[in-house]
Chains A and B, each alone.
Chain A
Amino acid sequence: MDCSNSRYAHHPDVAWRLVQDEALLVDPRTGSIFPLNPVAARLWVLLGDTLPVSEIVRSLFQEFDSSRETIEADVSAFIANALAARLLVEQPGGSRSSGGESS
């Protein structure tokens, strides 16, 4: 899916904290804990700033040693998973094409 202009926000119920370069998320609705590695933790912080996905990908590409294609794919998968788990909510106003929807 192309979600490069989409913006997201943390679900207001989700508790979380950075622990050094990693993060722990808690979903109070289920009591589940989600550990995030350094890249996912950085992505989580950037998502919380409601930046468009394209800007988030650009930031991660500058900060981590990986190809843009890998980052785009990982970000897309992370967002899909987090939306399904109701850890993220999509912000109104961000355009999002429905073509190639994979989740």
Chain B
Amino acid sequence: MIGAGVISKAAVAEQRANEIAQKAEVHTIPLHAMVELTHRCNLDCVHCYCQHLDTTRGRRELRTREWTRVLDELAELGVLHLTLTGGEILVRPDFWEIARHAKARRFSLTLFTNGTLITEAVADSLADLRPTSIEMSLLGATEQTHDRLARANGAWRRTLRAADLLRERSLAFVLKTTLMRENFRELAELERTATGRGCRAYRIGTEISPRNDGSLEPEQHRIGPCELFDYYVSAVGGAPALPVEQPTRGPSRDKSLCGAGSTGCAVDPYGDLLPCLQLFLPFGSARERSLRQMWEDPPDQIRRLRSATAYGDLPACLACDLIDYCRRCHGLALLETGAWESCDSRAREMAEMGRQVARHLRDGAALPAAAAPERPLAPVGD
């Protein structure tokens, strides 16, 4: 009747958990949420999408009690996996009050932090909090590279020190690197450095988004097509994750789109409920309506977003010869074109890269010269 109870083989448990997640999707229950506690940060990373906007736009971050109410409402909506992110979460003096409230509401917590503010005492508090995961960015294999990209002296040493403090307390942490033109050649050493610190996982990302103030400045740090191609080809079978999309087995038009706004949601520092931190289509403000009201009675633009569940639901994708290789981001499309349903140049570029990699793997084809322009490396400000 209860069956295997709580103990079952991992594969069986994973399958059952997926079935329950599908049930959540059918009932539009957001199992995942990202909560952006602040845009403030003690670093100034060159590639970060986050700009501190509360002063420039005259907006005020949610206060402690407002956040705890938002967390209560997220729990009531059904959110299980909650990520607390920033900015830098530890710059908020009330971070611990918010985090402990989240823990008491039985969220599975993931913390995104740059790690530089993690001292012995902070690590002890994290051990008491016992989040499911703590994720920190490692931007370079050397102090020089990391600190130049973080635009802060001593950041590399402090982040690695944080990794040691977390490991000493048996706290699960993830190190991750956004590949940039400035750190691409350090990738192998980065991986050795990260895994040598005892992280649960090391993740590599290739995506760099425009800033939330519309600035395209971070994009100048994206690696070029040649480097991407090299990375993807070398990553096949070897890297922790292969970020290039593999051709789908079934009809491409049935491939699922991102579930932002249906299976997941986000709240920004000022209380706006969003489908995702990258997709600026607000449901409304938590200061004015409850999350449940906004979730169950969303604006038309969210209804349209929810009605598109597969690539075949988007005319731009249905007609595209790269549909097999694409993993579009509605947020990037919205930022670039003003319409989330549109195709954006980055999605197309990455899908084209996926096709080239697939051809290379199939018949040894090289990257066409036209897709491999030479670009000088831009200097990074100190």
- With A16-B80, A17-B31, A24-B20 as given contacts, are A84 and B108 in contact (CB-CB < 8 Å)? no
CA distance A81 to B3 in the complex (A): 12
- With A19-B23, A35-B13, A35-B20 as given contacts, are A25 and B6 in contact (CB-CB < 8 Å)? yes
Residues on the A chain within 8 Å of B16, using CB: 35, 37
Residues on the B chain within 8 Å of A82, using CB: 5-6
Complex interface residues of chain A between 18 and 66 (CB less than 8 A to chain B): 18-20, 22-26, 28-29, 31-37, 39-40, 43, 64, 66
- With A31-B200, A36-B6, A78-B6 as given contacts, are A19 and B20 in contact (CB-CB < 8 Å)? yes
| Interface: B78 (CB within 8 A) | yes
With CB as the reference atom, state the residue of chain A lying closest to B7: A81
Complex interface residues of chain B between 295 and 346 (CB less than 8 A to chain A): none
| Interface: B132 (CB within 8 A) | yes
With CB as the reference atom, state the residue of chain A lying closest to B19: A35
| Interface: A71 (CB within 8 A) | yes
With CB as the reference atom, state the residue of chain B lying closest to A13: B130
Residues on the A chain within 8 Å of B132, using CB: 15, 26, 28, 31
CB distance from B124 to the nearest CB of A (A): 16
- Establish whether residues B20 and A22, one from each chain, have CB atoms under 8 Å apart when the complex forms: yes
CB distance from B21 to the nearest CB of A (A): 8
- With A20-B23, A39-B1 as given contacts, are A34 and B108 in contact (CB-CB < 8 Å)? no
Residues on the A chain within 8 Å of B75, using CB: 17
Q: Bin the interface of chain A by size.
A: 35 or more
- Establish whether residues A34 and B13, one from each chain, have CB atoms under 8 Å apart when the complex forms: yes
CA distance A77 to B131 in the complex (A): 28
| Interface: B258 (CB within 8 A) | no
Residues on the B chain within 8 Å of A39, using CB: 1-2
CB distance from A18 to the nearest CB of B (A): 8
CB distance from B168 to the nearest CB of A (A): 16
Contact with A along B7-36 (1 / 0, CB 8 A): 100100110110111011001010100000
CA distance A61 to B100 in the complex (A): 36
Complex interface residues of chain B between 37 and 56 (CB less than 8 A to chain A): none
| Interface: B204 (CB within 8 A) | no
CA distance A45 to B172 in the complex (A): 28
| Interface: B290 (CB within 8 A) | no
- Establish whether residues B1 and A28, one from each chain, have CB atoms under 8 Å apart when the complex forms: no
- Establish whether residues B20 and A87, one from each chain, have CB atoms under 8 Å apart when the complex forms: no
Complex interface residues of chain B between 55 and 88 (CB less than 8 A to chain A): 75, 78-81
- Establish whether residues B27 and A33, one from each chain, have CB atoms under 8 Å apart when the complex forms: no
| Interface: B106 (CB within 8 A) | yes
Residues on the A chain within 8 Å of B252, using CB: none
- Establish whether residues B29 and A40, one from each chain, have CB atoms under 8 Å apart when the complex forms: no
CA distance A20 to B78 in the complex (A): 9
CA distance A76 to B324 in the complex (A): 50
CB distance from B33 to the nearest CB of A (A): 11
With CB as the reference atom, state the residue of chain B lying closest to A16: B106
- With A24-B80, A33-B13 as given contacts, are A66 and B6 in contact (CB-CB < 8 Å)? no
- With A28-B131, A31-B133, A84-B7 as given contacts, are A17 and B2 in contact (CB-CB < 8 Å)? no
Residues on the A chain within 8 Å of B10, using CB: 32
- Establish whether residues B5 and A40, one from each chain, have CB atoms under 8 Å apart when the complex forms: yes
Residues on the B chain within 8 Å of A85, using CB: 6-7
- Establish whether residues A33 and B2, one from each chain, have CB atoms under 8 Å apart when the complex forms: no
CB distance from A3 to the nearest CB of B (A): 15
- Establish whether residues B6 and A29, one from each chain, have CB atoms under 8 Å apart when the complex forms: no
* Leading 4 A-B pairs by shortest Cβ distance: A15-B108, A35-B16, A26-B108, A28-B132
Additional A-B contacts beyond A37-B2, A39-B2 (17; CB < 8 A): A15-B109, A15-B132, A19-B20, A19-B23, A19-B29, A24-B31, A25-B6, A31-B172, A33-B13, A34-B13, A35-B13, A35-B19, A40-B5, A70-B1, A74-B1, A81-B5, A81-B7
| B-binding residues in A (CB < 8 A) | 10, 12-20, 22-26, 28-29, 31-37, 39-40, 43, 64, 66, 70-71, 74-75, 77-78, 81-82, 84-85, 87
| A-binding residues in B (CB < 8 A) | 1-3, 5-7, 10, 13-14, 16-17, 19-21, 23-24, 27, 29, 31, 75, 78-81, 103, 106-109, 130-133, 172, 200
* 7 intermolecular pairs with C-beta atoms under 8 Å apart: A13-B130, A18-B78, A19-B20, A28-B131, A66-B1, A75-B2, A82-B5
